[in-house]
Amino acid sequence: MNELTALATNKYIYVPLLVWFFIQLFKVVWDLVETKKFNFKRILGAGGMPSSHSAVVMCLAVMIGKAEGFNSYIFALSLIFAIVVMYDAAGVRRAAGKQAKLLNKIIDTPGLSVPEVQEKLVEVLGHTPVQVFVGAIIGICVGLIA
């Protein structure tokens, strides 16, 4: 039980997870306002404004930098990790989302003979650079406050 208590009270775990949860909750509410439909999949889904991935990793990096020093190896590790995650969100995953959108459009084109598809590909996988930037700013701000 002691280890479980230690995990539950470790701010380096619960603060970034709370950031992720509230950003995802914001996306659900925003989607509800825009579409007038409740889409629970948004709570776990990727993509959208702002990037919760960017917010989480930047929050953690800043918290570590505050605690261990911004010249520590562990801060450097967490910052490089954050940069890789944000690059992936805006680069690789965004490109995969664009490809999924194009493939879904091809599948829906009347008259084309395409292989039978069981389900559509997920199109919202990544983030625009602005979504990543806004997520990073949120993460920095929360990390400085925490």
Q: What is the mean pLDDT of residues 110-131?
A: 65
Here the tokens at position 133 are 């930037």
Task: Please give the pLDDT value at position 114.
Answer: 58
Q: State the Cα–Cα distance between residues 58 and 47, nearest whole angstrom.
A: 17
Residue 50 backbone class (left: φ over 0; alpha: ψ -120 to 50; beta: rest): beta
User: Is pLDDT above 60 for 138?
Assistant: yes
Residue 13 has a pLDDT of 94
